[in-house]
Amino acid sequence: MAKKMGIVALLLFGVYVLCMYWYIFHSGDGKIPSALQGTAADPVMFMSGKELFLSGEYSKIRNFLFFIATPFEWLIYFLILLMGVSRYFEKITTSQTKWKLLQNAGYLFLLSVFVYIVLFPLNYYRYYLSKSYGISTQTFTSWMKDGVLDFWVSFGMSLIIVTVIYWLMKKSEKRWWLYTWLLTIPFTIFVMFIQPVVIDPLYNDFYPLKNKELETKILSLATQANIPAEHVYEVNMAEKTNALNAYVTGIGSNSRIVLWDTTLNRLTDNEILFIMAHEMGHYVEKHIYFGIAGYLLLTLLGLWLTNKAMRPMIARYGQVLKINKISNIRSYPLFLLLTSILLFASDPVSNYISRYQETRADQYAITLMEDREAAVTAFQKLTISGLSEVNPPLLVKWFRYTHPPMLERIYKVADHEGQKQEIPLKEEQKK
């Protein structure tokens, strides 16, 4: 039975990979609508021939990797259960100590190391791909350091979460999901509060914006928007990437507006001010708090569905999956498998809401700045720096894009009339 299920899982994954390969590389989707060709939103108008080629090639490879990576993780979790690896890890840790916390820590460490090793070739290829296309500037040593940090931060949080969840499962097999969700509320708020000052600085250096003249302009914008801001932060990303970015993070007194130094180095003041106005739009419209509320609602639904699925699956296939009961920590890969599937299935909804919020922030920035040209050129430079796909295929947009595609963003912020002449062509395109 276990062998048959394993073969079926591998065959299904193989068919899925072939289907996604055809869709990403040969479906012919993602073309620029004829009505928008020659406008400021058309990449031909602001990207060189080489940039267009690299953007198309890089985007397709990245999209394909995205769509196979998550199901590949599902396959790993399923095989870990099917082959008895999870039961073996539990057996090792329970034989070493009677302390439940240490047993959980040992099991999670073994499982995390195993998954990290299996996924390492795929993660390394993603790093190599970004490096070869000129997006990443990070050395292998620095990349490995970030990977190790990710491992330990994830391990520490997982240990807390898993210990609490499986303790609640032992206490109440029917209502553990509800109690877990209730504890998720303060935990999520706490993590959001400490992230800007505890977690993020583990990876990069953050400091107040060095360009005081620009900071004065940004704080003046904040005053116009009734935002109580004292500092704008910059972060040293140039040693890791050529991409551009800015974002809002944290809540309460730890909330921050952050600019990558790559953004500061490559955009004009007006373009930076537009991006800052965009981030202020998120603050004014309280998108962070709506995001937390949405996350908590999805978590409640996800935990309920996970419980509904785990119990009958263990009752019917427990012997094949080597799981005695739901409260055994060896069932954790099944928990990861189900929650990952549910998260993936919820991506189109959460991404749609995020894209709506980003559009609102763009509109707010235009109203505040009244500088459409800066908005257009900023988006064009963001596209070039990350070799972004301006008009992705539909499935890619649904599952990957938390921001509207650049085709939509540029078209909406630009003055629609006269765009064919308003944005000048690059020198190499004039020839």
Output the known binding site for Zn(2+).
278, 282, 358
Tell me if residue 362 is catalytic: yes
Determine which one of 234, 271, 362, 389 is catalytic.
362
Contacts for 99 with CB less than 8 Å, ≥ 6 apart: none
Q: How far apart are CA 339 and CA 306, in angstroms?
A: 6
Give the full edge-to-edge strand order of the sheet including 256-260: 206-208, 233-235, 256-260, 246-249
Q: What is the dihedral of CA 370, 44, 30, 21, to 10 degrees?
A: -130
380/169 Cα distance (integer angstroms): 51
CA distances from 183 to 36, 188, 192, 300, 333 (A): 49, 9, 15, 11, 21
Active site residue 428: no
Reported as type and span, the H/E element at residue 258 is strand 256-260
Residue among 73, 215, 279, 371 flagged as catalytic: 279
Query: Torsion angle of alpha carbons 304, 310, 313, 317, nearest 10°?
Result: 180
From residue 26, alpha-carbon distances to 21, 173, 417 in Å are 8, 48, 34
Does residue 239 contact residue 205 with C-beta atoms inside 8 Å? no
Give the separation between CA 396 and CA 25, rounded to whole angstroms. Answer: 12
Q: Which residues are catalytic?
A: 279, 362
